[in-house]
Structure 1
Amino acid sequence: MASISSVGLGSGLDVKSIVSQLVALEKQPITALQTKEASIQTKISSFAQIKGLVSTFADAASKLTLDSGFNSMTVASSNASAVNATVSGVATPGNYAFSVSQLAQSQTSASGVVAAGTTMGLGSITLQVGSAAAVTVNIVDGDDTSLSGIAAKINDAGAGVTASVVTDSSGQRLVMRSNSTGAANAFTVSTSGSGPLGSLAFTTKQAAQDTLAQINGVDVTSSDRTFSQAVPGLTFTASQVTTTAADVTVTADTATTKKNIQAFVDAYNAINDLLSTQTKYDSDNKTAGDLQGDSTAVGIQNTLRSMIGSVTASGGAYNRLSDIGISVLRGGNLSVDDTKLSKALSTRDSAADVKKLFATKDAGEASNGIAVKFKALTSAMLSFDGTLNAKTDALNAEDKRNLSEQDKVTARATALEARLNAQYSALDTRMASLNSLSAYVSQQVTNWNKSSS
């Protein structure tokens, strides 16, 4: 008996359609799983956005916990080519008359003239720089005893001077210059030896000296050309000797402070906008945000809103953001009243209280500044085991389980398809055999009928 090569031929049934429908029915759960998987991926993407915005907000809050966030100063000099200043710490606004009578310089000493190519012989050179220990450079057998070789050995000794050879029409000179400026870095040179080295004498060509200046009539001295200790928070730099005092003016830079505060507000609003959009339900269109009902997203939004409206007993005149012109709008966003904020920053004492409102730290939860509180909160959210990473890990684990379930459904459907095809193939074979037998019996009956007649 020939085998059936196409399922359904023997039975006459539409086996392909029957198997296809049964397999499709077995695969039905995968549609719901795929829909859920798409939702999980959307949530993962949404929390990645939230994490990015929280990081930006953390940076903005961190700036307002630092002195540099509030103590910005603008420095101007009436003679910037001669005198200038930079803010190097907590500075106080003021005017400073700065005059320069002498600039710091290094000592330079040169030897007498030596004919080019002279072999200086063996011996030693002893260098004494300021109060440092003397350094002796020994020229021994095997050394290069030319002036260039001796200069190289001096430089390798780290004695606090740099040696070089200068050549002119009269011959060569060994020249040494102290590595640091200032009178305290003056140096002496002595030589010994039986050859030309022993009789080599040095003359000071430029004496070591300090910078001499006056700040508001008070004499100040520096071994270099900067004055970092004369006025707290300021570093003055002298570049030229002056004939009249340069007027250096230091004023409070409220524009930078306001910019830092605005950045804090903008970063907060970006988070609030995203969370509001993602968690809302539009009753008119009957559509929900991607994170509508998500407890983590709702929890983050509630925590941020609660903290932004909190009171801080920082010890200054201001206890709430609204006291300095930062108000909460409908929908949760913040708005800055520039006039009110400018007034709060207009005086030194008032500006100090604004700083306390944001930057007071280590004073306890109730008394820490607003920025300090938010820095701690966002750091916790962004930490390795914090809220945002924990949520992302949970979503990734859920996505993995979902894909595993899809694989299981696909595997069951594939197994069912193979089983049904095998069963219908066996049925076809059986039906074909029965049909063949039936045809044979019918033929025999017909033949018997003919014979009997």
Structure 2
Amino acid sequence: MAISSPGVGSGLDVNSIVTQLVAIEKQPLQALQVKASSLQSQLSLYGTIKSQVSALKDAASTLASATSWASQAATSSNTAAATVSVDSTATATSFGLDITRLAQSQTTASRSIAAGASLGAGSGTGQLSIQLGSWGPAGAGPFVAGAGAAVNINVSETDTYTTIANAINAANAGVKATVLKIGNTERLSFQSTTSGSDAGFSIASNGGFAALDSLSFTSLGNGSESALGMESSQVGLNATLKINGVALESATNTVANMVPGVTLNLSQTTTPGSPVQINVAQDKVALQKNIQTFADAYSALSKTLADATKYVQGGRSGVLQGDSTTVGLQSLMRTIIGSSSTGSTYTRLSEVGLEQQTDGSLKLNTTKLATAMGDVSNLQKLFTTNNSNAATNGFGLKLRDLASGLLAADGTVSNKSTALQGAISRNGKEQDRVNDRAAVVEKRLRAQYSALDAQMAKMSGLSSFVTAQLAQWNKTS
């Protein structure tokens, strides 16, 4: 196999010559690569703009919605006794709350046995039958079984309190069992899983061995079937309360929708004559937060557009400086923010504290806003009024519709992003064409220089032959 090295025949640095000629052919790449970098920066920036327009849309949509202006906040004058929360259905109201009794679950406790000991000394088996029901509204008995069937738990004389507790808890009988350790002894405690007078329970022991009766509870008199039955620690009772003097009961200490949309969480009884005052009123803190979010979203987008289009003489201008689409968007936003609306006693955003700054951002003047919140109805109308006229609609609708249009499939932001992606794609194809042409040129040049090498090698060989012949002829002469 022949080994070739370009330039051997001619003595020329062929590789260097070809490399430099190909580099000249690839010179357009430099401008294309610079352009590609600029396009990528613009596309990335439009990704940021799209995200910020979306945030502005969300913030404006919140202010355009009557629902967001109807949000209520609740307060309690005594949070140690009761806390309060509201949902979207709550309306403004105020009432006094007296708590005379908290809801409680029924609890019972067994006799003590040695820690870790078995229930009995033999090998008998039996069942505990747990029945849910009520001991009456005052918890004084007699027991009335509920509609559900009793749950039977198999118990062996060799079972420990821990074994029995695990079996009861696994049965989901409406009762939870806990082993209490007191020194070297144990007691088994039962508690109904829910509170209220209708969430009580009775426990009957069914045959097998005498020690099983120690876990029975069929009457409030310490067990009617066995003198060793479980003790009543606490009866199940409803919470008793008064709202504006009206007596009410609740099976739990979470009292929901007795006042529509309002949930009361009871935690302690109140002093007679000193009710907890519950107030439900428009949530002005949430309203101010929504308005601040709107101002922040607008300002963030405004800053991005300003930075992108800025011109710095002798310095680094924005990547979209001079771009008509971006400059037009910036101008449109400022025009809308500075426009007026009809349908409210307020006509401009500056009147309620949203003041446009020289850099295009919005700054919230909380003093002005606090004054405007004295007339929430007209403040709301400034954002929510729909006149079926883009020029005079409320500002929530104006900015929401602007943002929606920009983000639509044929909107300004979407179209600009698509155009930039197309330009990047075309730039990439042009770079490929330049590289392809350079490859063809390189191949042709190497072929030409290879042919030149071959010819120069032949001529060099002929020259050497002629020189040798002349030398021989001179010797002969």
Q: Shorter-normalised TM-score: what interval?
A: 0.7 to 0.9
Q: Deviations over 1:258-292 (max 9, x none)?
A: 2331221122012112213323556x669863224
2:266 to 219, 223, 238: 238
Partner of 2:291: 261
- Greater mean deviation of Cα atoms: 196-205 or 402-411: 196-205
Partner of 2:309: 279
Question: C-alpha distance in 1, partners of 2:366/2:126?
Answer: 78
The answer to whether the 8 Å contact 1:98/1:247 transfers is yes
Question: C-alpha distance in 1, partners of 2:172/2:192?
Answer: 11
Q: What displacement does 1:355 show?
A: 3.2
Question: C-alpha distance in 2, partners of 1:168/1:26?
Answer: 94
Q: What displacement does 1:183 show?
A: 2.0
Partner of 1:351: 376
The answer to whether the 8 Å contact 1:112/1:201 transfers is no
**Structure 1 counterpart of 2:73, which letter?**
M
The answer to whether the 8 Å contact 1:129/1:160 transfers is no
Determine whether 1:413 maps to 2:429: no
Partner of 1:103: 102
Determine whether 1:80 maps to 2:108: no
Determine whether 1:7 maps to 2:7: yes
Sequence identity percentage: 38
Determine whether 1:291 maps to 2:305: no
Partner of 1:399: 424
**Matched residue pairs, number?**
442
**Structure 2 counterpart of 1:355, which letter?**
Q
TM-score (norm 2): 0.72
- Greater mean deviation of Cα atoms: 119-128 or 403-412: 119-128
**Structure 2 counterpart of 1:180, which letter?**
T
Distance 1:359 1:102, change over 3 A: farther
Partner of 1:186: 200
2:173 to 138, 151, 159: 159
For structure 1, the 5+ residue unaligned runs are none
The answer to whether the 8 Å contact 2:155/2:164 transfers is no
Q: Deviations over 1:185-208 (max 9, x none)?
A: 233444544654579443442222
**Structure 1 counterpart of 2:319, which letter?**
D
1:426 to 439, 448, 451: 451
CA RMSD across the alignment: 4.6
Distance 1:153 1:144, change over 3 A: farther
Q: What displacement does 1:128 show?
A: 2.9
Aligned pairs for 1:194-273 within 5 A: 195-196=209-210, 200-204=216-220, 205=232, 206-244=234-272, 245-248=274-277, 250=279, 254-273=284-303
Determine whether 1:338 maps to 2:404: no
Question: C-alpha distance in 2, partners of 1:345/1:19?
Answer: 78
The answer to whether the 8 Å contact 1:70/1:257 transfers is no
Q: Deviations over 1:330-376 (max 9, x none)?
A: 56433434333221102xxx213323443579x97769754356456
Distance 1:164 1:360, change over 3 A: farther
Question: C-alpha distance in 2, partners of 1:378/1:398?
Answer: 25
Distance 1:262 1:174, change over 3 A: closer
Distance 1:186 1:364, change over 3 A: farther
- Greater mean deviation of Cα atoms: 439-448 or 388-397: 439-448
1:326 to 354, 357, 365: 354
**Structure 1 counterpart of 2:7, which letter?**
V
